[in-house]
Amino acid sequence: MLELPIVDVSRLVRDGADPVAAAGIEAACRASGFFYVTGHGVPAELVERLDRHARAFFALPEAGKLEIAMARGGRAWRGFFPVGAELTSGRPDAKEGLYFGTELGPDDPRVRAGLPLHGANLFPRQVPELRAAVLEYLAALTATAQAVLRGVAQSLGLAPDYFAAGYTADPTVLFRIFHYPPAEPDTDAWGVGEHTDYGLLTLLLQDGNGGLQVRTPSGWIDAPPVPGTFVCNIGDMLDRMTGGWYRSTPHRVRNRSGNERLSFPFFFDPDFAAEVPPLPGRAATGAGGERRWDGQDLRVFNGTYGDYLVAKVGKVFPGLSADVGAA
């Protein structure tokens, strides 16, 4: 049984506003912070092509994949990392993956200034088709995320373009492709350990294998694959901006399917240079000081979204933290 709601965003995509979708988003964000997005208009052909070329990449010999190892991406924080190299909440994850972001050339002022997490993507020479699939997918999902955020804004009593006119006029976009080998029997290792996402919202494409779990007030529940949808969850910045009215909800993955699992999380976040204060009006109602799952108080943080992100990155990739200048 599907325990999380499905929200049809087709009117948010087409007309820019939809009180029905906004009400669905509000209910989901108050209940669990997770919902499925349907009616997004992202072509099935693009999703299928992305999946196919990603599988071809992960099927390469390890040495071939390591040609685009993250260490070669330097401060841009792009490329491949092998199984066990990424830590979540301090423990190595049972997954390998590719990190992508907005494609920026060497002449971009942010790249010239050496801003961490900005730069060119690393694409595999052995699967040249992956490049176009990833770049098309980034463009398509950026439009979907802006549409969902119009619904989020409306759900908080704000103008539908509230985020697009400010925080996401120049969004921070991070995109990952993860490959989870089948879990060893009786393992206690997680594909991805319990965590929350950092930014505004995440749109997750997952294959048919399942394995994503969400922590709700009544315990852990499954977020099984639903064909043609993305799983959407809100991140720490919306939690912070709403004073906890919308909570960024812990989730984790274990691939018990016996198959190779692929997932494609797309992270849609505020402008790197933006400070992220409470939202105006009833949007910042707050949750009344309930403790967060990890004891962190998102309100005490000062600085830009970029500062927050770089500090987080330093924890998940300790070996790369010098590259991005994380404390």
- Shortest distance (Å) from residue 34 CB to ligand AKG: 11
Residue 32 or 263: the one with the smaller Cβ distance to ligand AKG is 263
Q: What phi and psi values does residue 152 have, to the nearest 5 degrees?
A: -60, -45
Residue 154 or 248: the one with the smaller Cβ distance to ligand AKG is 248
Q: How far apart are CA 50 and CA 54, in angstroms?
A: 6
Distinct helix (H) and strand (E) counts, the chain: 9, 14
Name which position in 144, 154, 206, 242 contacts ligand AKG (CB under 6 A).
206
For residue 127, the partner it binds in Fe ion, ligand AKG, none, with Cβ less than 5 to 8 A by kind, is none
Residues in region 259-278 near ligand AKG by CB under 6 A: 263, 265
Strands (E), 185-229: 192-195, 201-206, 212-216, 219-222
**CA 187 → CA 147, 181, 183, distances in Å?**
40, 13, 7
Residue 150 or 215: the one with the smaller Cβ distance to Fe ion is 215
For residue 263, the partner it binds in ligand AKG, Fe ion, none, with Cβ less than 5 to 8 A by kind, is ligand AKG
Tell me if residue 35 falls in helix, strand or coil: strand
- Shortest distance (Å) from residue 195 CB to Fe ion: 6
**Binding region for Fe ion (CB under 5 A) out of 74-82, 176-184, 195-203, 292-300:** 195-203
**Binding region for Fe ion (CB under 5 A) out of 35-43, 179-187, 197-205, 271-279:** 197-205
Contact call for residue 279 and ligand AKG (CB under 6 A): no
| C-alpha closest to that of 146 among 166, 170, 163 | 163
Contact call for residue 178 and ligand AKG (CB under 6 A): yes
Residue number closest to ligand AKG, CB atom: 263
Contact call for residue 238 and ligand AKG (CB under 6 A): no
Local structure of residue 73 (DSSP, 8 states): G
Contact call for residue 24 and ligand AKG (CB under 6 A): no
Q: What phi and psi values does residue 280 have, to the nearest 5 degrees?
A: -75, 160
User: What is the per-residue burial (b if ≥16 Cβ within 10 Å, else e) of 3-14?
Assistant: ebeebbbebbbe
Q: How many CB atoms lie within 10 A of CB 92?
A: 14
Residue 124 or 250: the one with the smaller Cβ distance to ligand AKG is 250
Contact call for residue 179 and ligand AKG (CB under 6 A): no
**Beta strands 34-38 and 6-8: pairing type?**
parallel
Question: What is the residue type of 308?
Answer: Y
Name which position in 197, 236, 239, 269 contacts Fe ion (CB under 5 A).
197
Contact call for residue 121 and ligand AKG (CB under 6 A): no
Q: How far apart are CA 155 and CA 158, in angstroms?
A: 7
- Shortest distance (Å) from residue 18 CB to Fe ion: 26
Token pair listed for 131: 């490049």
Question: Which residues sit at the interface with Fe ion, rule CB under 5 A?
Answer: 197
Question: Which residues sit at the interface with ligand AKG, rule CB under 6 A?
Answer: 176, 178, 192, 197, 204, 206, 212, 251, 253, 263, 265
